[in-house]
Amino acid sequence: MSRTRAWTDGACKGNPGPGGWGVLIRDGHDTVELSGGEPSTTNNRMELLAAIRALQALADGTQVALYTDSAYVMNGMRSWIAGWKRRGWTTAAGQPVKNMDLWRELDQQVAHHDVQWTWVKGHSGDPGNERADALANVGCAPYRRRD
């Protein structure tokens, strides 16, 4: 059985500023592309939202290799989240976790799937990552200022 693959990316024009998220999902011969955006957000929020939207688009129990170029998302899922949850969603310094709403939603989505997290270097020619980046910019486009 082949594993579903999903590439996710976020974009922000200014930080904060208009932002977008993009998702490319490949399952065998099937391809799904998703994008969206917000008028005022941060890059980290868009990276998280991309991963959430990717997982929401999959049937429960899907085995998925999720590719991201976000060290923030990778570190959060591989290292930080267990401690945050143990401490009631606070950091080691006792501060509330930034973007807690999205981290909690991502944690809930991950619980419904078998996720293999994979980091890819952004803008390095990975076709899936490049397409997710383009979709994130499409999601951002409606909110950019036109001068």
The domain spanning residue 108 has which CATH number?
A: 3.30.420.10
Can you give the residue range of the structural domain that contains 36? 4-143
Helix, strand or coil, per DSSP, at residue 5 = strand
| The total number of structural domains that make up the chain | 1
pLDDT-derived band at 1 (thresholds 50, 70, 90) equals very low
Question: With contact defined as beta carbons under 8 Å apart, do 138 and 17 qualify?
Answer: no
pLDDT for res 2: 58
- Where in the sequence numbering do the catalytic residues fall? 9-10, 47, 69, 123, 133
Burial of 64 (0-12, 13-18, 19+ CB in 10 A): buried
The model's pTM is 0.95
pLDDT digits over 25-60, tens only?
999 899 999 999 999 999 999 999 999 999 999 999
Cα–Cα distance measured from residue 16 to residue 37, given in angstroms and rounded to the nearest whole number = 13
Question: With contact defined as beta carbons under 8 Å apart, do 129 and 80 qualify?
Answer: no
| Average pLDDT of the chain, as a whole number | 94
Question: With contact defined as beta carbons under 8 Å apart, do 106 and 52 qualify?
Answer: yes
